[in-house]
Amino acid sequence: MAVGPETLPEFHPVAGLRLGIASAGIKRPGRKDVVVFELAPSSRVAGIFTKNQFCAAPVTLSRRHLAEAAPRYLLINTGNANAGTGARGLRDAEACCQALANSAGVRDVEILPFSTGVIGEPLPVQKIVSALPEALADPREDRWAEAARGIMTTDTRPKGATRKVALGDHTVTISGISKGAGMIRPNMATMLGFIATDARIAPELLQTLASELGEKSFNRITIDGDTSTNDACMLVATGQYSGPEITPDSPQLPKLREALESVYLELAHAIVRDGEGATKFVTIDVTGAASQQEALDVAYTVAHSPLVKTALFASDPNWGRILAAVGRAGVENLDLEALEIYLGDVCLVRNGGRAEDYSEARGQAVMNGEEITIAIDLKRGNVRETVWTCDFSHDYVTINAEYRT
Amino acid sequence: MAVGPETLPEFHPVAGLRLGIASAGIKRPGRKDVVVFELAPSSRVAGIFTKNQFCAAPVTLSRRHLAEAAPRYLLINTGNANAGTGARGLRDAEACCQALANSAGVRDVEILPFSTGVIGEPLPVQKIVSALPEALADPREDRWAEAARGIMTTDTRPKGATRKVALGDHTVTISGISKGAGMIRPNMATMLGFIATDARIAPELLQTLASELGEKSFNRITIDGDTSTNDACMLVATGQYSGPEITPDSPQLPKLREALESVYLELAHAIVRDGEGATKFVTIDVTGAASQQEALDVAYTVAHSPLVKTALFASDPNWGRILAAVGRAGVENLDLEALEIYLGDVCLVRNGGRAEDYSEARGQAVMNGEEITIAIDLKRGNVRETVWTCDFSHDYVTINAEYRT
């Protein structure tokens, strides 16, 4: 199940980035489960990683390699997360990097590894290494759609976004893919995102963009409140376009940033739309907060409430559950008389209780839609935060009760 | 569905406390939905209430009345929570208290009102008032079992506990009932608990006991992380037993406290066992924490993880999900190499990864049970906290998707 139509675009190739795909048979024979990004030497890479303290071996190693060298390859496998695997996990991730480095003629620190899948099983290094020749045999710029499929786990559909944007006289291309359907929550989740552009971007600016855009997109989505051990979202700038280097002072920056942001949001929203068992795409929009923390506390408390989520699944305008979630979000001294809660454009709560002009029919009309906005105005300040989530359905339970069997 | 057998005891009557039950037809005609506790003038009452800021009108009014006078009656209705009802809700709760006060010949401040049920609908005051003559017609000390049924909402079975304890030469009686099956979480939930003893207990000590015992029992259970607007747990001491007043220095206090604690725990655990859709009773036991806060953060993060809860439902020893939940609980600088995680007596995680002697068969054997303990030793200090929860099943979704329809 997923919300809305499948919308994998016709990807624009990104000059300087070639993709290879292979079957290592990690979980199922024949399934494409290894993806390699080959980056031109002019490339720069920045990213953000999971904040889960039990971060997986590939996350530890990618962070380390990123600090030591400019990456030439990203190596992604599905079917096994190489997480909760202790010291052996780190050695296994290193072995995969070393094998790819040997085959490609680069140093191992120039490889960034990414793994997603089941936690706690040893990484099948030999299977992955055996698949590398296939992954390196035919690297091409036009294999984005294959790559989008190659990084899927419980995803029901591939996720991608692509743009061409004129920056003055030069055209810049942006393409990206993402994966993830469960264990999705702020600060990343079994969520991977790879966004690439052929723009040339100053290194520090690239990290700033990777951090800020990731924060407001991938770190603002939640399916179930669980944060994976393996999340990563990488921004690659191959530097192969014809224009000048983009710096914090470049007049082109706002337009580039806007285009990148729309790709980040599209990829992050695609994960929510494909949330495990999702039937609704839900925007939680908190305004009038006194601080970012309280805005996020309220947004996530509503987004994670199983009672709100099951009501959304049932298309039940059970506004009392939304109100109760706001009330328990830990914000001190809420002004219950002042705050307002809306479902779409229908006011649910005003003056401390149900809005006078609310009717079940009006609430129901909003709830019947596939895309629903819950807007909460705390009337305490000027801070706004938005979080995206989905509902909680029978299929979520089925998927997660049967994942390993 | 519920975990374990139904175990409503043969209640011991508590001298000085009589119970009346009536049908007001609030949600369904004929259902017993009004319960009245009549307390002898010698009684003292203390309690704890929801911390949800959108607390319901009856909570506001009970707090106020409790501060003004010694209660003579508790008035409980199901079917309507009188929450999210603004100023009208308060007037409605007052009207019910006034009507009972008039009938019983006491002052309205001597009545404590409690409501549970759907949020946001106006309280049907007239129905409740019309049921009061029935509720007051035949108050008896032996109607605890009827009262336990009379306060049920989505509960599948009544909940009660009872004790007789010798304190030196005097025997003290304790009986209690509770209700709640969803929206249960620390700091109360659509959870009501009424515990009564015929002991005479000094007023300040009574409040201390009500707070401390409630904190370690009703405030340590969670079904779904949602906190209701209406929770309350009241401790009544009628003072009718033959012994002396119990004060903080009384030699009888430890034994009384122990008996009360076991009643509190039994009533709180009964709520978890009857959790909406529950098939497992799960104890989350965190030891070795550096502070109470981090112990609770870890315990609740595991207890609320939908991935852990669906794995419990599937009897799947998916220890990676437990590990991931511990890792995202927000405890800084966890010593991943030192901490240990157990499922029952089977070690899952040691030395930063899966324990060497772990096997799927051993994990599965524990998971197949109905009562499961997840023990997490953080190896950072000496603080221990225990939280009780249940699994997350298809029935949870069904119950909460269909509650209002």
Best of B1, B304, B310, B313 to disrupt the A interface (most A CBs within 10 Å) is B310
CA A147 to chain B, closest CA, distance in angstroms equals: 27
* Whole-angstrom distance, CA of residue B138 vs CA of residue A75: 76
ipTM: 0.73
- The stretches in chain B having pLDDT less than 50 are 184-189, 405
Picking from A141, A126, A131, the residue whose alpha carbon sits closest to that of residue A76 is A131
Strand partners, B347: B342
Give the nearest partner residue to B54 out of A54, A324, A396, using CB atoms.
Answer: A324
Q: How many separate domains does chain A show? A: 2
Tokens of B378: 């953080």
Q: Residue A55: its pLDDT value, please? A: 85
Q: Residue B160: its pLDDT value, please? A: 97
Secondary structure letter of residue A337 according to DSSP: T
CATH number, position A371: 3.10.20.340
* Whole-angstrom distance, CA of residue A109 vs CA of residue B104: 82
- Is residue B364 within 8 angstroms of chain A, CB to CB? no
C-alpha distances in angstroms, B319 versus A97, A123, A399, B276?
27, 17, 17, 24
Q: Are residues B290 and B267 in the same domain?
A: no
Taking only the tens place, the pLDDT of each residue in A85-115 is 889 999 999 999 999 999 999 999 999 999 9
**Residues A221 and A303: beta-carbon distance below 8 Å:** no
E-assigned strands of A33-78? 34-39, 44-49, 73-77
Tell me, yes or no, whether B9 lies in a domain.
no
Tell me, yes or no, whether A365 lies in a domain.
yes
Q: Residue A336: its pLDDT value, please? A: 85
Catalytic residue, chosen from A50, A85, A162, A190, is A190
Q: Are residues A54 and A94 in the same domain?
A: yes
Q: Which residues, numbered 32 to 61 in chain B, qualify as contacts with chain A under a Cβ-Cβ cut-off of 8 Å? A: 51-55
- Residues whose CB is less than 8 angstroms from the CB of residue B144 and which lie 6 or more positions away in sequence, other chains included: B11, B13, B19, B160, B162, B175, B177
Tell me, yes or no, whether B36 lies in a domain.
yes
Tell me, yes or no, whether B11 lies in a domain.
no
- Is residue B87 within 8 angstroms of chain A, CB to CB? yes
Give the nearest partner residue to A320 out of B119, B324, B328, using CB atoms.
Answer: B119
Q: Are residues B190 and B305 in the same domain?
A: no
Tokens of B181: 């099956």
Q: Are residues A203 and A156 in the same domain?
A: yes
Q: Are residues B294 and B356 in the same domain?
A: yes
The annotated binding site of B for substrate is made up of: 153, 179, 190, 276, 400, 405
Residue type, B293: Q
**A187 contacts B328? CB cut-off 8 A:** yes
∠B279-B285-B286 over CA atoms, to 5°? Answer: 140
**B85 contacts A323? CB cut-off 8 A:** no
Q: Are residues B35 and B143 in the same domain?
A: yes
Residue A287 neighbours by CB distance under 10 Å: 18
**Is residue B190 annotated as a catalytic residue, yes or no?**
yes
Q: Residue B225: its pLDDT value, please? A: 60
**Residues A71 and A43: beta-carbon distance below 8 Å:** yes
Taking only the tens place, the pLDDT of each residue in A301-347 is 999 888 899 899 989 888 888 988 898 898 988 988 899 999 999 99
Longest dimension (CA), chain A: 71
Q: Are residues A291 and A186 in the same domain?
A: no
**B310 contacts A400? CB cut-off 8 A:** yes
What is the band of A184 on the pLDDT scale with cuts at 50, 70, 90? very low
CA B386 to chain A, closest CA, distance in angstroms equals: 21
Last residue of a domain, one of B273, B308, B323: B273
**Residues A135 and A36: beta-carbon distance below 8 Å:** yes
Report phi then psi at B308, rounded to 5.
-65, -45
- Is residue B356 within 8 angstroms of chain A, CB to CB? no
Tell me, yes or no, whether A77 lies in a domain.
yes
**Residues B171 and B256: beta-carbon distance below 8 Å:** no
Tell me, yes or no, whether B10 lies in a domain.
no
Q: Are residues A325 and A355 in the same domain?
A: yes
Q: Are residues B264 and B290 in the same domain?
A: no
Tell me, yes or no, whether A84 lies in a domain.
yes
* Whole-angstrom distance, CA of residue B241 vs CA of residue B331: 48
Q: Residue B227: its pLDDT value, please? A: 60
Residue B5 neighbours by CB distance under 10 Å: 7
- Is residue A153 within 8 angstroms of chain B, CB to CB? no
Q: Which residues, numbered 192 to 251 in chain A, qualify as contacts with chain B under a Cβ-Cβ cut-off of 8 Å? A: 224-229
Q: What value does the mean pLDDT of chain A take?
A: 91
**Residues B244 and B359: beta-carbon distance below 8 Å:** no
Picking from A305, A280, A272, the residue whose alpha carbon sits closest to that of residue A376 is A305
The structure tokens 């291309």 sit at A173
Interface A-B, measured as beta-carbon pairs within 8 A, has a size of 212
Last residue of a domain, one of B232, B255, B273: B273
Last residue of a domain, one of A229, A257, A273: A273
Q: Are residues B251 and B344 in the same domain?
A: no
**Residues B233 and B47: beta-carbon distance below 8 Å:** yes
**Residues A172 and A197: beta-carbon distance below 8 Å:** yes
Q: Are residues B240 and B289 in the same domain?
A: no
- Is residue B145 within 8 angstroms of chain A, CB to CB? no
The structure tokens 């008032």 sit at B129
The DSSP element (H or E) to which A224 belongs, if any, is: none
Give chain B's length: 405
What is the band of A189 on the pLDDT scale with cuts at 50, 70, 90? very low
Distance of CA B160 to the CA centre of its chain: 11
Strand partners, B45: B236
**Residues A15 and A238: beta-carbon distance below 8 Å:** yes
The DSSP element (H or E) to which B402 belongs, if any, is: none
* Whole-angstrom distance, CA of residue A212 vs CA of residue A218: 10
Q: What percent of chain A has pLDDT over 70?
A: 95
* Whole-angstrom distance, CA of residue A305 vs CA of residue B183: 9
Q: What is the DSSP string of B104-121?
A: HTS-GGGEEEEEEEESSS
Picking from A167, A189, A165, the residue whose alpha carbon sits closest to that of residue A175 is A165
CATH number, position B210: 3.60.70.12
- Is residue B340 within 8 angstroms of chain A, CB to CB? no
Q: Residue B246: its pLDDT value, please? A: 97
Structural domain that includes position A261 = 17-273
* Whole-angstrom distance, CA of residue A16 vs CA of residue A139: 11
Q: Kindly tell me if the per-residue pLDDT of A225 is higher than 70.
A: no
Give the mean pLDDT of A148-165: 93
Q: Are residues B170 and B252 in the same domain?
A: yes
Tell me, yes or no, whether A258 lies in a domain.
yes
A373 annotated as a binding-site residue: no
